Amino acid sequence: MKGAAKTNAMRILDRNKIPYKEHLYESDGFMDGVSIAEKLNQPLERVYKTLVAVGKSKKYYVFVIPVAEELDLKSAAAAVGEKSVEMIHVKEINAVTGYIRGGCSPIGMKKQYDTVIDRSAEGFDEIFFSGGRLGAQIEMNPAALADLICARFCDITQKNSERI
């Protein structure tokens, strides 16, 4: 895995002189975020997944939440000023973002969509998220990530009492 080519997300970070750490791991296909956190020996709370949803207005939105959490669709919709949002279908991910399932980074999508990062990220100096391909994660400061992609922090995950 040493010397693997930089992803678009990493090139954008380099170009903007934003510090980050690249973490590579063996991957032979889609792997859920909890498994990635375990593979990297990181607490679940520090590893985030990138989700893409579409609003009632037909606009796309990006939500970055901890891998073991679920997106609260009502809170997510409120955060972006929509009546409602729903997750896009897996087969649409590449067409909308330019990335594949499991390799979707909030940095370097085809377009810069309105992005919300779960407020829990503000409690960490650095978080992990997809580096833009399977087998690659980026570790960086969440405030620097938000500044780069013009994201904001909101509470957008389901609370424990809402899970059944």
CATH number at residue 118: 3.90.960.10
- 0.85 exceeded by the pTM? yes
What's the rounded mean pLDDT across residues 1-18?
A: 85
The answer to whether 104 touches 50, Cβ cutoff 8 Å, is yes
The DSSP secondary-structure symbol of 18 reads -
Which token pair is 156? 């957008």
Q: Is residue 68 part of a domain?
A: yes
**Residue 35 in domain:** yes
Mean pLDDT of the region 103-130:
97
Q: What is the pLDDT of residues 121-138, one digit of tens each?
A: 999 999 999 999 999 999
Question: If you average pLDDT over residues 112-127, what whole number do you get?
Answer: 97
Domain extent at residue 96: 21-159
pLDDT tens-digit map of 56-66: 999 999 999 99
Residue 95 has pLDDT above 60, yes or no: yes
> In this structure, is residue 26 part of a structural domain?
yes
Q: Quick check: is 9 in a domain?
A: no
